[in-house]
Structure 1
Amino acid sequence: MKEYVGMVATQVAQVLLMIVSKSAIADGMSSYSFIFYSNAIASLILLPLSCLAFHRSPNRPPISFSIVCGFLIVGLFGFFAQISGYTGVSYSSATLGTTLLNLIPGFTFILAALFRMEAIDIRRLTTQAKFIGTVVSIAGAIIMTLYQGPSIIPSSLKATISNHLVLGQSSNWVLGGVLLTIDAIFASLYIISQAVVLKKYPLVINLMFSYCLICTFLSGLASFVVESDLSSFNLQPNMRLFSVLYSGIFGYAFLVTVQSWCVRRRGPLFVAMFHPVGIVIANLIGVIFLGDGFYLGSLLGSIIVVIGFYTVMWGKAQEQKIAADHSSVSSKLDGETAPLLQDVEEQSVSSTP
C-alpha cells in the first residue's frame, strides 16, 4: 500500500499547488519566475539527498552518455509541461486546468502501449479492464468538473468569494484550453521518459535533482529572454513568497520524487491514473476545509471515477498475478528438470565401459 498512500499524498499536494500557483500568478508573478524559484528551491533540497544516495548506493550504474541524454529529455518534457500548464491556467482557470489534466491517463496509456510498458492484448480481460477503466475515470472527472446539478451541501459565502478570487475565470478559454492540452501531452511524455530512464538508472533522487536543476536553468534563461519586466521576480507581497516556498518544498521536491518512485515501482499508467482521483480529493478538501458546496455532479462523478480507477487497478493486479504464476511454474519446471538431467548423466556414466 505504500505506493497508493504516496500517490494520494502527491495528489493532495498537486491540488494545493494548483491553488497557490494561480494565486501567485494572479498577483503579478510570471509563470517563468514562479517555475524558476520553485525548481531552484527543490534543487537545493534534493542536492544533499542525491549526493547521499549516490555515495551509499552499492550497485549504482555508471553515468553514460545515454543516461545523461535521458536526464535532459526528462527535464525538457517536464519544463514544457510546466510552462504550458501554468500559462494555460493563467489564461483560463484552475477548474479548466484540472479538467484537461485528466487527459493524462489516456495519453499515458497510449504511449505506454506503444513503448510496450503495458501488456496489450485486446482479447484479454485485463487489457479490456485497463482500457475501459481509463475511459470511465476520464469521463467521471469531466462530469465532476462540468456538471454541477442540485446542491447536496450548500456552500458558504466565504467559499464563494474565495473561489472567485483564486479560481477566477478568464475570457481567453480557447488559448488556455489549447495550452492545457499541450501540458497533458508533455506530462504524459514526462512520465514515460522517467520510466525509460529509471530502467537504466534506478536512482530516483538523482534523476529528480537533475530534472529540477534543468528546469531551473531553462526557466531562468527563458525569463531573461521573454520577460521585459523583471519585477515579476520580486517575492513581495508575502503571498508570492509563501506560494514559491510551498511549490518548491511540496510541489516539486516532495511531489515529483514520490511520483518518480511510484513510476519505478508500479509503472507509468499507475501514476497517471491518480489524476482523476485528484478531482475527488480536490472536492473533499473544498467541502471539509474551505466550506465549498457539494453537488450531485460531484457525487456522481466521484463514484464513476472510483469505479474506473478500481477497474484499471484490478486489471493491473490480475496481470501481476498471472506473471507471478508463470514465474513460479517456470521455477518449478527448472527445479524438476535439474534432477532429471542429473539422473540421466549418472546413468550414462555408469553404463560407460
Structure 2
Amino acid sequence: MILLQICVASVYFLTEDSFNQGLNPHIYVTYRHAAGSLMMFPFAYFLERKIRPKLTLAVFLEIFLLSLLGVSLALNLYFASMKYVHPTFMTAVVNTIPCMTFIIAVVFRLEIVDVRSPRGIAKILGTLASLVGVMVIAFYKGPAVPSLKGAPIHLGTNSVHENWLKGSILTVASCILWSSFYIMQAFTLKKYPAKLSISAWMNCIGAAQSAVYTIIVQPKAAAWSTTSGIDLWCIIYSGAVSSCLNLFIQLWCIEQRGPVFVTIFNPLTTVIVAVAAYFLVGEKLHTGCILGGLIVIIGLYSLLWGKEGDQHCIKNQKQSFPACDEQKKPDDHAFTLSETDIH
C-alpha cells in the first residue's frame, strides 16, 4: 500500500501538467479507464481462466454499481469540484475518507472495535490522528522552508472560479461515493473473488459510464482529440497505475485486511506529494506540512497496530475451534448413551 501511494502520487504531477495544457478532466477519466481495461483484460482472461466463477446477472449489476460509485461518478465529481474550490480544501475533505469508511465499516460489522481493549482504542485514535494530521497540512502553514533552486519540473497553475457551496457539495459527494465504494468491494469479493476480472470489468464499465457523463457535460467532439504527447503518456501511465495496479492492489488488500486498512493509507499521498513537490517542482514546504505528515504517520502506525491485533485474534480463534470440537464430541456421545439407557 505504501508503494501504491508513491505511484499514485507520481500520477498527480503528470495529470496536473496535462490539465494545464488543456486536457479535459472528464475525457481524461474516460480514456484512462478505457486504457486500463485494455491492459487488464488479457491478465484477467488467462490468469483467472480456471478459477474465475460464473458471472451472474446479480454479480454483474454489483460490478456495474461499483464502477458507478468509485470509478465514473466519484472521479468526475471530484474533478468537477476542482473548478470551484481551492485545492487545500479538496485535500482536507478527500482525506476524511478513512474516517467515513471506518464509521460505515463499523455499522456493517466489517470492522471490529472493542473500546475496552488497547488495540481497539488504537484503531480509533489512529483514524482520528490521521484526520488531524491532514487538517494540519491543509489549514496550518507555519514558517516556510526555502524552496530549492533549479527545480527539474515546472508546472503552471489551474484557474479556480470560487463557488464554495457548489464545490463543497461536489467534493463531499465524491468522498461519500468513494467510502461506499470501498465498503461494497468487501461484499462483492465474497461472491466473486476473481480480483483481476473485477478490476477489468470495473475499468470497462467505468469508461463507458464516464463517456456518457462526458458527452452530457462536454458535447463538443473536438474536445475528445488529444494533440499533446504528454496527454497520451498521461493516459497510458494513469491507466496502468491508477486504473489497473491501484484497483487490483486495493481489492487484494481489502480481501486480506478489510476496507479500513486500504483507506487509512490515503493521507500518505498528501504527504508524498508535498515532499515531492518541494524537491521536484520547487514549491515551498511549510512546517505545518511536516508536522501534519508526522501526525499522519503516527496515526497510520497506531491503526496498523490495532489491525494486527485483529489478525492474531482471528488466527487464535481458528486454532481453538478444532480443540473445542474435540471436547464437544465426548459430551455429545455421552448424552446419546444416557438417552439410550433411559429408553
* TM-score of the superposed pair, with normalisation by structure 2: 0.89
Offset of 1:241 from its aligned partner?
1.7
The percent identity for this pair of structures is: 26
> Which position in structure 1 is the counterpart of 2:203?
212
Q: 1:207 to 1:192 in 2, by over 3 A?
A: same
Q: Identify unmatched segments of 5+ residues in structure 1.
A: 1-6
DSSP 3-state at the match of 2:48: helix
> Which position in structure 1 is the counterpart of 2:162?
172
> Which position in structure 2 is the counterpart of 1:150?
143
Match among 105, 120, 140 for residue 112 of structure 1: 105
Match among 61, 72, 78 for residue 69 of structure 1: 61
Matched to 1:295, the amino acid is: H
> Which position in structure 2 is the counterpart of 1:195?
186
Q: Within 2, Cα distance between the matches of 1:197 and 1:336?
A: 36
Q: Verify the 8 A CA contact 1:104 1:188 in the aligned structure 2.
A: yes
> Which position in structure 2 is the counterpart of 1:325?
316
Offset of 1:85 from its aligned partner?
1.2
Q: Verify the 8 A CA contact 1:208 1:256 in the aligned structure 2.
A: yes
What do residues 158-210 of structure 1 show as CA deviations (whole Å, max 9, x unaligned)?
559935x14x4624251333322211111111111111100111111111111
Q: Within 2, Cα distance between the matches of 1:115 and 1:122?
A: 17
Q: Verify the 8 A CA contact 1:93 1:169 in the aligned structure 2.
A: no
Match among 45, 56, 69 for residue 50 of structure 2: 56
Matched to 1:170, the amino acid is: V
Task: Give the number of the structure whose residues are more often helix, by fraction.
Answer: 1
Q: Verify the 8 A CA contact 1:92 1:169 in the aligned structure 2.
A: no
Q: Which moved more, 1:130-139 or 1:88-97?
A: 88-97
Q: Which moved more, 1:178-187 or 1:208-217?
A: 178-187
1:162 to 2:154 alignment: yes
Q: Within 2, Cα distance between the matches of 1:249 and 1:322?
A: 36
Q: Within 2, Cα distance between the matches of 1:294 and 1:25?
A: 23
DSSP 3-state at the match of 2:154: helix
Q: Within 2, Cα distance between the matches of 1:101 and 1:259?
A: 17
> Which position in structure 2 is the counterpart of 1:126?
119
* TM-score of the superposed pair, with normalisation by structure 1: 0.86
> Which position in structure 1 is the counterpart of 2:28?
34
Q: Within 2, Cα distance between the matches of 1:211 and 1:187?
A: 14
> Which position in structure 2 is the counterpart of 1:19?
13
Q: Verify the 8 A CA contact 2:153 2:280 in the aligned structure 1.
A: no
> Which position in structure 1 is the counterpart of 2:293?
302
What do residues 18-67 of structure 1 show as CA deviations (whole Å, max 9, x unaligned)?
3333332332222221111101100100111111133132xx43322321
Q: Verify the 8 A CA contact 2:83 2:161 in the aligned structure 1.
A: no
Q: Verify the 8 A CA contact 2:185 2:254 in the aligned structure 1.
A: yes
Name the Cα RMSD after superposition: 2.6
Matched to 1:184, the amino acid is: C
DSSP 3-state at the match of 2:23: coil
Matched to 1:254, the amino acid is: L
Matched to 1:268, the amino acid is: P
Q: Within 2, Cα distance between the matches of 1:160 and 1:172?
A: 31
Q: Identify unmatched segments of 5+ residues in structure 2.
A: none
Matched to 1:61, the amino acid is: P
